[in-house]
Structure 1
Amino acid sequence: MHNQIHCLNYSPYIMASSSSSPLRFSVKRREPQLIVPSKPTPHEIKQLSDIDDQQGLRFHFPFVMFYRSHPSLKREDPVKVIKEALGKALVFYYPFAGRIIEGPRSKLLVDCTGEGILFVEADADVTIDQLGDSIHPPFSYIEEFLHDVPGSSGILGCPLLLIQVTRLACGGFIFAIRLNHTMSDSLGLSKFLNTVGELALGASTPSLLPVWEREILNARNPPRVTCVHHEYEQLTHTETSIVMSLQEHEKNIAHRSFFFGPSELKSIRTHIPPHLQKCSNFEVLASFLWRSRTIALQLDPKEVVRLSVIVNVRGKQGLKVPSGYYGNAFAYPTAISKAGLLCQSPLGYALELVTRLKTQMNEEYIKSVADLLVLKGRPHYTTVWSFLIADVTRVGLGDFDFGWGNSVYGGPIGARPCTSFHVSGFKNSYGEEGILVPILLPLPIMNRFQQELLSNGIQYPRKIAPKL
């Protein structure tokens, strides 16, 4: 892999901003380097859990954080501070400095070689204020601030983390990171980055020590599937799924974010019956988006559609997942419906399906998932007419302090095919805080989706900004 790394020294970039004139800037990057643990670490092989190594998690997941300059730290170099803290953090999280290898029956393992994580140092002649309204998902010029180093994006034998720190002309910086998802979920990554922040601020050890113990989420012996898992049904399907549509219409894809503040949520809640008014905003919004998206797809009424809600299993009934556990600890409980019934029924129908998902998540359910994955060869979750949604508002992706305070925005760069996120930290032009939801769809479907939202009082585009 090392021989495949090349330096991209200069990269001009032009991005159309929200104003009439395009924003022009350039990014200069130095040669990528490997950051290794600052002290010797164990050389051993560790197994990933049976939740970690499923096919649906074998990809790299990017996040980005924007930091303003700090008046009292003008002489400090964020690149130097963060690099040193990363080396110290890898002493505690040393599996991140290793490489994924494949064992018998496609079982993934971490070879703790200490080779290190990949780091790119960069400078951009643009300020955080010039980036302005673009600091929210979808962050369309992420390629400039998280360079895909050639040869670095494989699952096997590649660095497990890629980080680029880009100094900005205003003294602020952008911290972008790409995670091999088989190693951790967003909560697991946040534990690592919290440790980096603590060590950057002078701590000698993390306030929360990392815990491996991946066997907690392994299949039972013998494995036995005891729950219904619509999320892993392997379908023989003659129609084109939404993922196929995205691939076929790659040049005609729309990636937009929709803002849901107090007025938007109030408008949506007028469509649900009194006995469901106690449902959370996440449940209400997930149901509304699923129904609106299905209407926009214009499917045969007999087609079966799915909504998978990504649910964290930490702290769930019967599960003893340690607080320092940084592996993947979630499942995708899934609601299903005929498309025609979902579209023609009131919103309360979809909401009742979604609220039932919470009751499914317990120790038996996640163990049944692990058993199914082992018995069926770690299948990919179902993507045919599926919509996955995750609430990342409580993950704390904007709360990492490397010495410059919290970020202006921290979180996913946008939606993925079939997958969206509820992202917090934004306000509208009235100063009202709300949730931002990025959506990725082929343009004709996106236009119908947007029209459906408009008929329910959801405006696009809306003037939004980070709340900090």
Structure 2
Amino acid sequence: MVEINVRRSTMVRPAEPTPRRQLWNSNLDLVVPRFHTPSVYFYRPDGSADFFDAAVMRDALARALVLFYPMAGRLGRDEDGRIEIDCDGQGVLFVEADTDASVDDFGDFAPTMELKQLIPKVDYTDDISAFPLLVLQVTYFKCGGVSLGVGMQHHVADGFSGLHFINSWSDVARGVGIAVRPFIDRTLLRARDPPTPSYPHVEYQPAPPMKNAPPATTSPPINSAKAAGAAATAVSIFKLTRAQLNLLKSKAAPGGAYSTYALLAAHVWRCVCVARDLPPDQPTKMYIATDGRQRLRPKLPEGYFGNVIFTATPVALAGEVAAAGGGPAPAAGTIQESLASDDTSTCGRRWTTWRCKADLVALVAGRPHVRCPNIGLTTGYGCPSTTPTSGGGGRCSWGPAGIAYEGLPSFMKEKSCIHAEDKCLLLLSDAAAVALVDLVVIMVVVERTRVLL
């Protein structure tokens, strides 16, 4: 385990007075997991004298929080118990640390326990109003590299808005104005009243359980068709090249107009179904997180700050997804159809569906949704455009510092970063991960030294 030495911990507050208000959360802000989304950004030194100067970063952070003031608040509840943001300006946690380790000691930056040390730990045992909504840690390595660990409470922002904040913080540090000011008014996404649901939404129906599962078990461990009981989990990172993606496309049916995303998602779904040894008649559901900013009409204002994530949910039988000799095309077609149906009118009607639900907690996609026989899929937003220091340089590599649940892979693109390849992260049981790798080699790889997922 890498040893981290904390030099200093500071609660950074906005540099100027900010609006004191209770910020109402839309349903989209509430149907997200109740934790801080962890990510870590690694930077190589750029030779500048003020590379990741902590004083510059703290000062810029305080000034950025003036516009992004909900970040400096705390969670609270209204008179009905609904979670809201108390914009009280208490501040965000900024930790400075160092280590004798080097950036290369973290290998391919898989989300391991070592990586979690690069983000401040949040104590959830107290009331929801007790912890900061944003925790940051700058760690200086003996090689001259630096990491920026970010833990951002999911009720406050999704990945798109989170990266908007990090980039704006960087702009302030470099002495330039914030390019896009945050739009802080979530009532634009208020549900229609009275509700007028027009059809059942499959995305919010219960996840398919394992067939023939024990009565007390609705979400059995992964690979349960092969072995009973809990299974250890492991994280695997698979890096993709353009040649490998082209190989995957060549295995689709001729004439099929499938997007690269649909084919890759289908391949993951197919491999996981086989690795889990699901019977052919087992229903399986994929939860795909999609950004609604480009789908909603009328469009949200530029800089809308909050959560705008919807979920596309293709459903199929495992035998259809993993049919021998069928390649990725059948599953890709199901996925592409689901994504296409996730249009502007569908997104709007979901607010009505949620309005009909007395308890939004039941709609939060969590562990029961993505465990065997189901799977979730997310996409990372990449590195910040610059570093939050006045120099603004340094090559960046990034990744999630943890995967919340088994069965929740994430696609990440590292354009112009340390590893200029795409990645897919999977958290699976050890046995299933081995089966998955073997399966991938058999299905799509010409040389056993190159693994595609």
- TM-score by length of structure 1 reads 0.84
* Distance in 2 separating the partners of 1:321 and 1:131: 43
Is the Cα–Cα contact under 8 Å of residues 118 and 159 in structure 1 kept in the other structure? yes
Is the Cα–Cα contact under 8 Å of residues 377 and 408 in structure 2 kept in the other structure? yes
Q: Could you tell me the percent identity over the aligned residues?
A: 23
1:171 to 120, 133, 144: 144
* Equivalent residue number for residue 307 of structure 1: 286
Is the Cα–Cα contact under 8 Å of residues 166 and 384 in structure 2 kept in the other structure? no
Is the Cα–Cα contact under 8 Å of residues 310 and 330 in structure 1 kept in the other structure? yes
5+ residue gaps, structure 1: 1-12, 15-25
* Equivalent residue number for residue 364 of structure 2: 380
Matched, 1:206 2:178: yes
* Distance in 1 separating the partners of 2:126 and 2:164: 23
* Equivalent residue number for residue 131 of structure 1: 105
* Equivalent residue number for residue 58 of structure 2: 83
1:53 deviates by 0.7
Is the Cα–Cα contact under 8 Å of residues 398 and 410 in structure 1 kept in the other structure? no
5+ residue gaps, structure 2: none
| One-letter code aligned to 1:142 | L
* Equivalent residue number for residue 19 of structure 1: none
1:280 deviates by 2.2
| One-letter code aligned to 1:184 | A
* Equivalent residue number for residue 121 of structure 2: 148
Is the Cα–Cα contact under 8 Å of residues 185 and 327 in structure 1 kept in the other structure? yes
* Distance in 2 separating the partners of 1:47 and 1:131: 43
Comparing 313-322 and 182-191, the one that deviates more: 313-322
* Distance in 1 separating the partners of 2:120 and 2:450: 30
For residues 368-405 of structure 1, give each alpha carbon's deviation from its aligned partner in whole angstroms, at most 9, with x where no partner exists.
2222223222122334532121232xx34342322342
Matched, 1:341 2:316: no
Is the Cα–Cα contact under 8 Å of residues 116 and 401 in structure 2 kept in the other structure? no
* Distance in 1 separating the partners of 2:30 and 2:340: 25
- Residue 305 to residue 105, structure 1, CA distance change in 2 (3 Å): farther
- Residue 460 to residue 253, structure 1, CA distance change in 2 (3 Å): farther
Is the Cα–Cα contact under 8 Å of residues 398 and 407 in structure 1 kept in the other structure? no
* Equivalent residue number for residue 232 of structure 1: 204
Matched, 1:434 2:421: yes
Question: What's the Cα RMSD here?
Answer: 2.9
- Residue 149 to residue 389, structure 1, CA distance change in 2 (3 Å): closer
Comparing 307-316 and 431-440, the one that deviates more: 431-440
* Distance in 2 separating the partners of 1:439 and 1:213: 35
Is the Cα–Cα contact under 8 Å of residues 98 and 160 in structure 1 kept in the other structure? yes
- Residue 420 to residue 414, structure 1, CA distance change in 2 (3 Å): farther
For residues 17-45 of structure 1, give each alpha carbon's deviation from its aligned partner in whole angstroms, at most 9, with x where no partner exists.
xxxxxxxxx32113533111011111111
2:159 to 161, 186, 208: 186
1:168 deviates by 1.7
| One-letter code aligned to 2:181 | L
Match runs of 1:27-42 below 5 Å? 27-42=4-19
* Distance in 2 separating the partners of 1:62 and 1:399: 19
1:155 deviates by 4.5
- Residue 387 to residue 308, structure 1, CA distance change in 2 (3 Å): same
* Distance in 1 separating the partners of 2:123 and 2:449: 36
* Distance in 2 separating the partners of 1:423 and 1:200: 26
* Distance in 2 separating the partners of 1:249 and 1:155: 34
* Distance in 1 separating the partners of 2:244 and 2:91: 46
Matched, 1:62 2:38: yes
2:408 to 415, 419, 430: 419
2:396 to 405, 408, 414: 408
1:443 to 430, 434, 439: 430
Comparing 138-147 and 85-94, the one that deviates more: 138-147
Is the Cα–Cα contact under 8 Å of residues 94 and 135 in structure 2 kept in the other structure? yes
Is the Cα–Cα contact under 8 Å of residues 123 and 131 in structure 2 kept in the other structure? no
1:267 deviates by 2.4
Comparing 227-236 and 323-332, the one that deviates more: 227-236
For residues 52-91 of structure 1, give each alpha carbon's deviation from its aligned partner in whole angstroms, at most 9, with x where no partner exists.
112x432221011011122132x55522221111111100
| One-letter code aligned to 1:411 | G
* Distance in 1 separating the partners of 2:229 and 2:44: 37
SS at match of 2:29: coil
* Distance in 2 separating the partners of 1:229 and 1:146: 37
For residues 266-293 of structure 1, give each alpha carbon's deviation from its aligned partner in whole angstroms, at most 9, with x where no partner exists.
22223211222x4222111001100110
1:279 to 258, 263, 271: 258
SS at match of 1:310: strand
For residues 148-197 of structure 1, give each alpha carbon's deviation from its aligned partner in whole angstroms, at most 9, with x where no partner exists.
14458975442101111111223321101011111111000011111100
* Equivalent residue number for residue 253 of structure 1: 233
2:385 to 399, 402, 411: 399
SS at match of 2:376: strand
Is the Cα–Cα contact under 8 Å of residues 59 and 155 in structure 1 kept in the other structure? no
* Distance in 1 separating the partners of 2:384 and 2:230: 31
1:457 to 436, 444, 450: 444
Is the Cα–Cα contact under 8 Å of residues 398 and 409 in structure 1 kept in the other structure? no
- Residue 432 to residue 162, structure 1, CA distance change in 2 (3 Å): closer
* Distance in 1 separating the partners of 2:411 and 2:298: 25
* Equivalent residue number for residue 23 of structure 2: 46
SS at match of 1:71: coil
Matched, 1:270 2:250: yes
- TM-score by length of structure 2 reads 0.86
Is the Cα–Cα contact under 8 Å of residues 390 and 420 in structure 1 kept in the other structure? yes
Matched, 1:112 2:103: no
* Equivalent residue number for residue 326 of structure 1: 305
* Equivalent residue number for residue 342 of structure 2: 361
1:243 deviates by 7.3
